[in-house]
Amino acid sequence: MSTEHLPGQVLAPEVALPSLGEPPLYQVVLLNDDFTPMEFVVEILEKFFHLGRLQATQIMLHVHTRGKGICGVFPYEIAETKVFQIRDFARQHEHPLMCTLEAV
Ligand code: TYC
């Protein structure tokens, strides 16, 4: 289908130019379980969120004691990619670690 306008036709601005606000943000949430080793969780936080050892350990311990915790906040596609990568990495190492997305 052609996208050319008919001569003299003018598109309403809201149709021609969708507003470009900030993208909605999503938090990547890590869930506790009884089996995944603490050291493995710390490695995940370092590897996928570029956290230092201290902050990664603090977040791991928060998840361990409180049941869940936020690893980072991102636009949807980045957050979704991190969730998939973490799930895959955990499965490759045969750990049941789970993480999810939550709208901010
Ligand atoms: N509870 C796990 C243990 O005692 C450690 C753990 C922490 C697992 C955080 C998952 O998201 C998690 N080995």
Task: Write out pLDDT tens, residues 2-20.
Answer: 444 455 665 555 555 677 8
| Mean predicted confidence (pLDDT) in 97-101 | 98
Q: Give the number of the atom of ligand 1 that is nearest the alpha carbon of residue 69.
A: 11
Count H helices and E strands in the chain, helices first.
4, 3
| Residue 41 Cβ < 6 Å to ligand 1 | yes
Question: Among 34, 35, 38, 43, which residue has the most ligand 1 atoms within 8 Å of its CB, making it the best to mutate?
Answer: 38
The share of the chain scoring above pLDDT 70, in percent, equals 83
| 15, 33, 38, 83, 88 from 71: Cα distances, Å | 37, 16, 15, 10, 17
**For residue range 39-65, what is the model confidence (pLDDT) as tens digits?**
999 999 999 999 999 999 999 999 999
Q: Contacts for 57-62 with beta carbons within 8 Å, 24 or more apart?
A: 59/30
Q: Read out DSSP for 48-66? A: HH---HHHHHHHHHHHHHH
pTM for this model (two decimals) = 0.83
The CB density around residue 64, as the number of other CB atoms within 10 Å, is 16
